[in-house]
Copies of this chain bind each other. A is one copy, B any other.
Amino acid sequence: MSASEKTGVTAPAGFSAAATTAGIKPSGKPDLALVVNHGPRFDAAAVTTRNKVVASPVKVTRDAMTTGSLAAVVFNSGNANACNGRQGDVDAVEMQSLAAQSIGVAPEDVAVCSTGLIGELMPMDKVRAGIETLGGQLGDNGHEAAVAILTTDTVEKQALVERDGWSIGGMAKGVGMMAPSLATMLVCLTTDADVSAGELDQVLKEASKSTFNTLDIDGATSTNDTVILMASGASGVQPDKSEFAGAIGEICAFLADQLQADAEGVTKRVAVTVEGTADDEQALNAARTIGRDNLFKCAMFGSDPNWGRVLAAVGMADAEMDPDNISVYFNGQPVCEGSTGAPGAREVDLSGIDVDVRVDLGTGGPGTATVRTTDLSYAYVEINSEYST
């Protein structure tokens, strides 16, 4: 994508970005980026990992978010700066300070996002030299920033949602929020709409719930996951609250789609919808249990309409069900009705990339939820068994 096709974090008015190769990654690929909000407003919101083991940059970002405003986010790939003890905290704070200094703002106005290997100290000499160059290279470099945050991703992920006089841009890397693969999920959203920090917070949490938080690639959750939303107000437009929420939901969904499509080793994109539970939470529990079941995921890899694995998996879920009245549909075709195989169930064609699985747990309740996952392939094992060695 050429920089002239406006998309990504620098598309909305009031934002610039820079990226560089600091040498953190052994591959020699870009690994440092800065996204700057030039105002006039600096409202911001963030959603961070639920993991109890929290990386140093996430601690710094959480502290920075207490004011509800940000002037910039500094990103690095190639090193997660997680599990590095006191030195990790010191290094994350220094990254924050250096980035703030390079654009002339206070340290507490800068968030820090890191992604890469856990338990390696940041090569701070390289990071210092890299950040120093970023301040002087700010411009319409959303694409370059989107490239610099990638780790095992095979393609950069950008998005733009345009409305009447204002827009939302975004970039992302990784695979999933509550459950990303080793690739931490980092998302940065920018908007020139004039929206308060409180509204940003509310809208971002709501949108994350049905997009990033239901993207469940392998049940793992990174120490570094972060989604940040910054608003410059540069358009001068104060959008209607529901219109803004809709646009944020749209860009989150679009980026989540790109994350799912590029998940490690993916050959199938699988949407698991559960219904017929007492409430949505039970449906979500059940959908996650199916989506995380390795036997089910292997069957998807094999394009195998093995609905028995869906029943065996869901039977362990923390959800009420009628074990004798469960129905399963693959790509809209019934494969199991009344907990028994439907005619032609073994012949259902799952050879396409997208597989839609719908499961009715048979209690007649109104609960429903969808989780998106992927298959479990040889490539997943290959990528994840050879990462740090």
Which A residues contact B (CB, under 8 angstroms)? 50-54, 80, 82-85, 87-88, 117-120, 181-182, 218-223, 292-295, 298-299, 301-304, 306-309, 311-317, 321, 323-324, 326, 336, 338-341, 345-346, 376-378, 380-382, 384-389
Contact = CB atoms under 8 A, between A and B. Distances in A.
A303 B182 CA distance: 17
Q: Do most interface residues of chain A lie in helix, strand or loop, or is the interface mixed?
A: loop
A294 B118 contact: no
Given A119-B336, A294-B219, A309 B381 contact: no
Given A83-B311, A295-B181, A298-B381, A388 B53 contact: no
Counted per complex, copies of this chain come to 2
Given A219-B293, A294-B384, A304-B385, A53 B338 contact: no
A357 to B, nearest CB: 15
A118 B295 CA distance: 13
Contacts of A338: 85
B387 A304 contact: yes
A119 B88 CA distance: 53
A377 B387 contact: no
14 contacts: A53-B326, A54-B315, A82-B312, A83-B340, A84-B340, A119-B336, A119-B341, A119-B345, A220-B309, A223-B315, A294-B376, A294-B384, A299-B387, A302-B389
A119 B311 CA distance: 10
